[in-house]
């Protein structure tokens, strides 16, 4: 797990703050009484926002064009409840698969060298697995699955409607219709066809009126927000006179100490990253990375069934 999580202020983020704090304190009792989460008040949540700003340029355009096709052809109407439900059921899992592939591509691509960057240079996944080979210290905290399960039970209700793509009664009905269609594979070429076939089949079913009438929001408007852990101080924050500041979680927010700097000096003496970790293929510059095609066009032997 990361040393610290961060987010914009808001009760919707209390769950991740609580869970992360509890896990960290289980593995480091010295952190008791300190929230292991930073609220980004005046400072921007920079790293996630940079990544988010890159997504519309590198990933989104082709998918926007595909989604617009349904609207322009009159296949999708946001005021049609049944169409909205079928759209969610088909498109969200497929787009998540595509996003997972995009993430895998970015994390395994060597970024363009930047001499102004103080962080390690290299393939992100290689740096994550072997930071010492890139002149960096390893502060990863390995968490046992049993502890993750314990914290999840405290803060996550698996039956909450927020985890449902569509109301459960409708989900079972759509799943049955999908089975009747022969469980067609979802690809960029077939996604709208499957959507239309499902919509046609469901429209002809006598069960649809009753199922659609039973649809409700499923959320409790009076549901109390999750409270933040009590008696927890904010992480230490120090801003230098030159405006530089540290927002990480090393040593309770204090940053590197003398022993850490000594280890970095020793790593610096090794000079270069391990030669066996450097790519042998031509370098792909990450800044120019654009996902021009869909994953199912690149790898036809891997498909996802719902």
Q: What is the pLDDT of residues 23-40, one digit of tens each?
A: 999 988 888 998 889 888
In total, how many domains does the chain have? 1
Is the sign of the CA dihedral 157, 163, 167, 171 positive or negative? negative
The residue with greater pLDDT, 115 or 94, is 94
pLDDT in tens, 198-210: 999 998 887 776 7
Rounded-to-integer distance, Cα 36 and Cα 250, Å: 10
pLDDT in tens, 234-250: 877 766 666 666 667 77
In a domain, 228, yes or no: no
In a domain, 174, yes or no: yes
Residue 4: pLDDT band with limits 50, 70, 90: confident
Among candidates 145, 140, 173, 160, which has minimal Cα distance to 248? 140
249: left (phi over 0), alpha (psi -120 to 50) or beta: alpha
pLDDT (0 to 100) of residue 86: 95
Instruction: Say if residue 20's pLDDT is above 70.
Output: yes
In a domain, 6, yes or no: no
In a domain, 258, yes or no: yes
C-alpha dihedral over 118, 49, 28, 250, to 10 degrees? 20
pLDDT (0 to 100) of residue 244: 67
Give Cβ neighbours of residue 59 (< 8 Å, ≥ 6 apart): 98, 99, 102, 291
In a domain, 25, yes or no: no
Boundaries of domain holding 279: 44-218+242-298
Residue 108: pLDDT band with limits 50, 70, 90: very high
Q: Residue 37: beta bridge partners?
A: 5
First-to-last alpha carbon distance for the chain, in angstroms, is 30
In a domain, 84, yes or no: yes
Averaged pLDDT for residues 35-61: 80
In a domain, 147, yes or no: yes
Q: What is the pTM of this model?
A: 0.73
Averaged pLDDT of the chain: 80
Cβ atoms 283, 289 nearer than 8 A: no
Record the tokens describing residue 222, joined without a space.
């009076």
In a domain, 294, yes or no: yes
pLDDT (0 to 100) of residue 53: 84
Count of Cβ atoms closer than 10 Å to residue 265 Cβ: 9
DSSP letters along 195-261, please? HHHHHHHHHT-TTHHHHHHT------TTPPPPPPPSS-BPPP--B-TTS-B--S-GGGGT---HHHH
């Amino acid at each position: 797990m990361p040393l610290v999580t961060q987010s914009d202020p808001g009760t919707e983020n209390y769950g991740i703050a609580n869970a992360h704090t509890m896990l960290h304190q289980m593995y480091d009792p010295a952190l008791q009484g300190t929230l292991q989460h930073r609220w980004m008040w005046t400072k921007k949540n920079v790293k996630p926002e940079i990544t988010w700003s890159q997504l519309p340029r590198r990933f989104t355009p082709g998918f926007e064009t595909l989604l617009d096709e349904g609207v322009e052809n009159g296949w999708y109407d946001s005021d049609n409840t049944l169409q909205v439900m079928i759209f969610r059921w088909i498109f969200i899992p497929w787009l998540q698969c595509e996003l997972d592939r995009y993430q895998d591509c970015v994390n395994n691509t060597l970024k363009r060298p930047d001499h102004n960057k103080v962080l390690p240079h290299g393939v992100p996944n290689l740096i994550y697995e072997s930071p010492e080979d890139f002149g960096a210290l390893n502060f990863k905290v390995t968490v046992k699955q049993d502890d993750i399960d314990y914290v999840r039970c405290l803060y996550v209700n698996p039956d909450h409607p927020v985890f449902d793509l569509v109301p459960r009664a409708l989900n079972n009905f759509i799943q049955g219709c999908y089975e009747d269609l022969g469980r067609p594979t979802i690809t960029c070429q077939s996604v709208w066809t499957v959507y239309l076939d499902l919509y046609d089949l469901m429209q002809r079913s006598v069960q649809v009126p009753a199922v659609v009438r039973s649809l409700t929001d499923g959320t409790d408007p009076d549901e109390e927000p999750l409270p933040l852990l009590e008696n927890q101080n904010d992480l230490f924050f120090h801003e230098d006179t030159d405006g530089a500041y540290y927002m990480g979680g090393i040593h309770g927010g204090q940053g590197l100490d003398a022993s850490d700097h000594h280890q970095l000096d020793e790593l610096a003496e090794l000079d270069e990253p391990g030669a066996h970790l450097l790519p042998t293929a031509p370098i792909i510059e990450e800044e120019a990375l654009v996902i021009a095609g869909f994953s199912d066009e690149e790898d036809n032997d891997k498909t996802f069934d719902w």
